[in-house]
Amino acid sequence: MFRKTSPQRPLFGIEHRLDPLKRARLERTWAHAYRSHALPLIDETRFAKYFDPENSRPNKPVKLVVSVLVLKEVFDLTDLEALSELEWNALWQYALDVTPEEAHACQKTLHNFRTHLLGDDQGAGLFEGTTARLIQAAHLRTERQRQDSTHIVSNIRILTRLGLFVETITRFLLALQSEHPRLCGQVPQEVRERYLDREGYFADAKSSEAPRRLKQAALDLFEPPRDLRRPGWLSQAAFSSAL
């Protein structure tokens, strides 16, 4: 269910928990520029179509999710690193105008929002335009990672593809492990470790690492065997389990 961010803010935000000297220093950081000039530019109503109007739980504030996705790219972080910054970093909490109690989101929220954007013909353009205004208003230094909002959307596409690869392989291996443990044991150990022992880790990549991991996931999906007349391990396991 779509719900706009309440315009009424708590009386005791993160800035009110600091002494005057620290508060003055805080107002000279990128976080103050983002909060003052960039955050108000996010038109949450334009993203409302991604949420059921009645039959679901209230959404995470759109301003928070969009901001986390943007700052994740600017600082070249993984999803989990970005969410950790949101939860524990006072600069991020001040920039996003949330209290420490509100500063929380899960990785699935970021993944689902990326998927909605890429599944909508107008979604990427909407996010791209919003991102460009945020970056310009907050004077963020995008050379840390990529050059502009177009590249941020490109990164989101790569991360979404990587997530699909990893989710597909992980689900297959879990089913194979449950139904045909002997066949699962024939899968190379390093592959099992990537997708079973470190579930979720391999898909959560920094944007700078995502192309390499995407390539690795594709190779894992069809690893060329030594005998080129035989299919790769995954094709062979899938065929054998179907018999």
Phi then psi for residue 164, to 5 deg, are -65, -45
25 — pLDDT class (breaks 50, 70, 90): very high
pLDDT of 138 strictly over 80: no
Does residue 235 have a pLDDT over 60? no
pLDDT at 187: 81
How much is the average pLDDT of 17-39?
90
Q: What is the mean pLDDT of residues 74-82?
A: 88
- At position 143, the amino acid (one-letter code) is E
Q: What pLDDT does residue 239 have?
A: 47
CA dist 205 and 209 (Å) reads 6
What are the sequence ranges of the domains in the chain? 14-145, 162-242
Read out DSSP for 56-118?
SPPPPPHHHHHHHHHHHHHTT--HHHHHHHHHH-HHHHHHTT--TTT----HHHHHHHHHHHH
Q: What is the pLDDT of residue 120?
A: 81
Higher pLDDT, residue 85 or 6? 85
Tell me, what's the pLDDT at 203?
63
> Per mean pLDDT, which range of 3-12, 146-155, 202-211, 232-241 is the poorest?
232-241
What pLDDT digit, counting tens, does each position of 159-199 carry?
A: 677 777 787 888 888 888 888 888 888 888 888 887 887 64
pLDDT at 157 exceeding the cut of 80: no
Report the run of H or E that residue 181 belongs to, with start and end. helix 181-186
The average confidence (pLDDT) of the chain is: 79
For 37-46, 57-66, 122-131, which range has the lowest pLDDT when averaged over its residues? 122-131
**How sure is the predictor about 63, in pLDDT bands with cuts at 50, 70 and 90?**
very high
Q: Please give the pLDDT value at position 85.
A: 96
